[in-house]
């Protein structure tokens, strides 16, 4: 409808997107076959019907299993390129995707294979689709800080292809403070810093991400509402939250979209953005997330414009690079 057309044509940035979370079942089967691997599902439909999650860990178990089909540079290229084509269809003009190198190096897939495939697709995205991008490497927080240090070392030859380093995977029991030293090193290297915090974990993890890791954005952050002083700080300092509505309902952070707090946060003056997180697993890319929020919570045109502008403003682009999209 006309309303959806409006949301589509708004220039939007996606700031919270795991490339491994864009692996559609069709591509997963294709890559499994190409690489001579057997998947524990009879077909695409059987795999899709397994996407029923009670919490974050249920999802992560399938997500890491699925990522096992990614082996060659071409695999990483095909994954990234398919995502960029979806972005073009949704009116996404800029992306800052995450990837999880440790889930691949643990399977003896070299860092260079990952970077080459991903960056070649991102370059083609700029050349052929006009989509700009900046890449973010994420540490897996269920692994040790020592493992994160090793990963940072392995990524150093590719440093110029990274804009920031993030922190993802199972949040409960893996607080930001566990990674304070390695993010000190990330800071010394002049890279940006983001972290998942306040998705399943408490508001205190958001405080730790801000005060100990010095994050420039908070990924998810929806549990900030449990601490009014934190809410006030996020508003006063306009620290962006990269909120993922379909993810939050599929992982039962909110029971239903009607219960989601994103529009409440926006109305309080927080710099919230809409993102898709792992769209192949959660049933929708960026535009579908805007539509789902609009349909369940209501979103005026002015609010849609504000959300899209927030996504551009919260990006790592320079002011001059942002200007044409604002």
Distance CA 131, CA 137 (A): 19
Query: Which is nearer to ligand ADE, 169 or 289 (by Cβ)?
Result: 169
With a CB cutoff of 8 Å and minimum separation 6, the contacts of 62 are 50, 51, 53, 281
* 260 annotated among ligand-binding-site residues: no
* 16 annotated among ligand-binding-site residues: yes
Distance CA 271, CA 309 (A): 10
The nearest distance, CB 324 to ligand ADE, in angstroms, is: 30
* Residues in region 54-73 near ligand ADE by CB under 6 A: 56, 63
* Residues in region 16-55 near ligand ADE by CB under 6 A: 18, 21
DSSP SS3 for 106: coil
Check residue 277 for interaction with Zn ion (CB under 5 A).
yes
Length of the chain: 326
With a CB cutoff of 8 Å and minimum separation 6, the contacts of 84 are 95, 121, 122, 124, 125, 129, 131
* 18 annotated among ligand-binding-site residues: yes
Q: Residue 42 class from Cβ within 10 Å (0-12 exposed, 13-18 middle, 19+ buried)?
A: exposed
Query: Which is nearer to ligand ADE, 133 or 169 (by Cβ)?
Result: 169
Contact partner, 169, from ligand ADE, Zn ion, none, Cβ < 5-8 Å per class:
ligand ADE
With a CB cutoff of 8 Å and minimum separation 6, the contacts of 73 are 113, 116, 117, 120
| 7, 291 contact by CB (below 8 A) | yes
* Residues in region 150-169 near ligand ADE by CB under 6 A: 168-169
* Residues in region 226-285 near ligand ADE by CB under 6 A: 247, 277-278
Contact partner, 21, from ligand ADE, Zn ion, none, Cβ < 5-8 Å per class:
ligand ADE
* 196 annotated among ligand-binding-site residues: yes
Distance CA 56, CA 151 (A): 24
Measured at the CA of 226, the angle between CA 223 and CA 229, to 5 degrees, comes to: 110
Query: Which is nearer to ligand ADE, 21 or 117 (by Cβ)?
Result: 21
Instruction: Report how many residues bind ligand ADE under the rule CB under 6 A.
Output: 11
Please tell me which residue in 14, 24, 199, 200 is annotated as part of the active site.
199
> Would you say the C-alpha torsion 188, 239, 11, 250 has a positive or negative sign?
positive
The nearest distance, CB 140 to Zn ion, in angstroms, is: 12
Query: Which is nearer to ligand ADE, 119 or 242 (by Cβ)?
Result: 242
The nearest distance, CB 201 to ligand ADE, in angstroms, is: 10
φ, ψ for residue 147, nearest 5 deg: -65, -40
Query: Which is nearer to ligand ADE, 17 or 317 (by Cβ)?
Result: 17
Check residue 102 for interaction with ligand ADE (CB under 6 A).
no
Annotated catalytic residue 199: yes
| 311, 274 contact by CB (below 8 A) | yes
* 142 annotated among ligand-binding-site residues: no
Query: Which is nearer to Zn ion, 202 or 303 (by Cβ)?
Result: 202
| 266, 244 contact by CB (below 8 A) | no
Q: Which of 86, 94, 178, 196 binds ligand ADE (CB under 6 A)?
A: 196
> Which residues are part of a known binding site for substrate?
278
> Which residues are part of a known binding site?
16, 18, 196, 277-278
Positions in the binding site for ligand ADE (CB under 6 A): 18, 21, 56, 63, 168-169, 196, 199, 247, 277-278
Catalytic residues: 199
Positions in the binding site for Zn ion (CB under 5 A): 277
């Amino acid at each position: 409808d006309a309303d959806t057309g409006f949301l589509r044509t708004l220039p939007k940035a996606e700031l919270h997107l795991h490339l491994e979370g864009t692996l559609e079942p069709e591509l997963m089967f294709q890559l499994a076959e190409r690489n001579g691997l057997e998947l524990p599902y009879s077909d695409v439909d059987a795999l899709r019907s397994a996407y029923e999650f009670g919490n974050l860990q249920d999802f992560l178990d399938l997500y890491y299993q699925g990522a096992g089909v990614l082996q060659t540079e071409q695999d990483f290229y095909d994954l990234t390129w398919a995502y960029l084509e979806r972005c073009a269809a949704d009116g996404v003009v800029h992306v800052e995707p995450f990837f999880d190198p440790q889930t691949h190096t643990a399977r003896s897939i070299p860092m260079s294979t990952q970077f080459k495939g991903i960056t070649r697709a991102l370059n083609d995205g700029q050349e052929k689709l006009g989509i700009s991008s900046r890449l973010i490497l994420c540490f897996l927080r269920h692994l040790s800080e020592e493992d994160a240090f090793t990963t940072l070392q392995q990524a150093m030859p590719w440093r110029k292809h990274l804009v920031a380093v993030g922190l993802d995977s199972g949040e409960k029991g893996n607080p930001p403070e566990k990674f304070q030293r390695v993010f000190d090193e990330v800071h010394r290297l002049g890279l940006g810093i983001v972290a998942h915090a306040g998705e399943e974990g408490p508001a205190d993890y958001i405080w730790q991400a801000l005060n100990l890791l010095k994050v420039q954005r908070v990924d998810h952050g929806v549990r900030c509402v449990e601490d009014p002083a934190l809410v006030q700080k996020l508003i006063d300092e306009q620290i962006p939250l990269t909120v993922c509505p379909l993810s939050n309902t599929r992982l039962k952070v909110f029971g239903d979209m009607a219960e989601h707090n994103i529009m409440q946060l926006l109305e309080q003056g927080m710099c919230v953005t809409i993102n898709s997180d792992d769209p192949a697993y959660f049933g929708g890319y960026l535009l579908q997330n805007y539509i789902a929020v609009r349909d369940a919570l209501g979103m005026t045109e002015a609010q849609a414009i504000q959300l899209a502008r927030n996504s551009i403003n919260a990006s790592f682009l320079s002011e001059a690079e942002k200007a044409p999209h604002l």
